[in-house]
Structure 1
């Protein structure tokens, strides 16, 4: 499943000082998102979900952050919400959209499933914990 991320909304969901360096916080999230394509994680409903790709929508001060390999970055010229809705409209289904913004969720096509930032961050935390581990 393709995962579309409202970067500003996800970054703003953890009070970790992101407001002091919005672009830096967005860049760190994008770097973490690069681990997601190809990974199988527990979906929002608990069933296995294999991520086929990531589209990340950035806006404002984060608009110029570098795009890591494996993440398609959409740079909103104006409203990030408008850019996200337009990006989702162009994508094939199924699509999982990560945002806590209820207004934005209401603007999405019915074929787009919503997920909250907590779900995504928990998945990324688990993937981060797997780095450097060996199996066997």
Structure 2
């Protein structure tokens, strides 16, 4: 219909919590579970939000946060999926991204880890922690 904006494309946001926490020297290493809890609380409101990603309007339909190590004790807020990595976080992030992409979801992984980025298949997109930090005012 004329005059109506096209609806935003749904997007699954997968967050490498350890990588995003480590991107700011705010003392996260003193209590990883508390730092992860704080970060999770800040990203939870992104679920359902519309924004522009690489010039395209998207709706964050689902947020999946992958935690590892001591951060697995973090409290999970409502509205997001928190996945505790049984071993290394990178493998779990790849598994989550591949499963979502294979199910037809558009996926954006937030990480600065080059090795992890190289393991992600097309069409999974990536963004650095700075993008997410700016988005949540961190």
Instruction: Give the TM-score taking structure 1 as reference length.
Output: 0.87
Contact 1:42 1:123 in 2 (8 A): no
- Please state how far the C-alpha of 1:47 moved relative to its aligned partner: 3.7
Gaps of 5+ in 2: 1-10
Name the CA distance, whole Å, in 2 between partners of 1:67 and 1:100. Answer: 23
Partner of 1:32: 42
Local SS of the residue matching 1:104: helix
Instruction: Give the TM-score taking structure 2 as reference length.
Output: 0.86
Matched residues, number? 125
Cα RMSD (Å)? 1.3
Contact 1:98 1:116 in 2 (8 A): yes
Name the CA distance, whole Å, in 1 between partners of 2:63 and 2:37. Answer: 14
Partner of 1:114: 126
Partner of 2:109: 97
Partner of 2:135: 123
Gaps of 5+ in 1: 129-136
**Partner deviation per Cα, 1:31-83 (whole Å, 9 max, x = no partner):** 1111001112232x244332111000000001121211111011001000011
